[in-house]
């Protein structure tokens, strides 16, 4: 495909700074920083932030689940370590 045909479907858009072809033949698009900040701010206005009691409750749940999973992984690791040491000493 000729190089000029690659850009036939690209239309001018003020939200993008440039569109170019990389060495691998893929498109690389850079977004205008002002547009990015404006759109990010607009999206943050749509966020429903949790209240403090819900945040605290969910934080406690995450801590408890993390401790349980960590203990489980430590237990499995301990079992594999003992099994490996028995297997190696047995030979």
The pTM score is: 0.52
Distance CA 62, CA 75 (A): 20
pLDDT digits (tens, 9 = 90+) for 25-83: 566 666 778 888 888 999 999 999 999 999 999 999 999 999 999 999 999 999 999 99
Identify the sign of the CA torsion 14, 17, 18, 24: negative
């Amino acid at each position: 495909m000729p190089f000029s045909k690659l850009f036939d479907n690209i239309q001018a858009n003020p939200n993008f700074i440039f569109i170019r072809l990389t060495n691998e033949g893929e498109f690389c698009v850079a977004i205008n920083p002002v547009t990015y900040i404006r759109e990010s701010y607009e999206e943050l206005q749509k966020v429903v932030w949790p209240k403090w009691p819900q945040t605290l409750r969910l934080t406690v749940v995450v801590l408890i689940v993390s401790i349980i999973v960590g203990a489980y992984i430590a237990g499995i690791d301990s079992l594999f370590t003992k099994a490996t040491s028995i297997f190696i000493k047995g030979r």
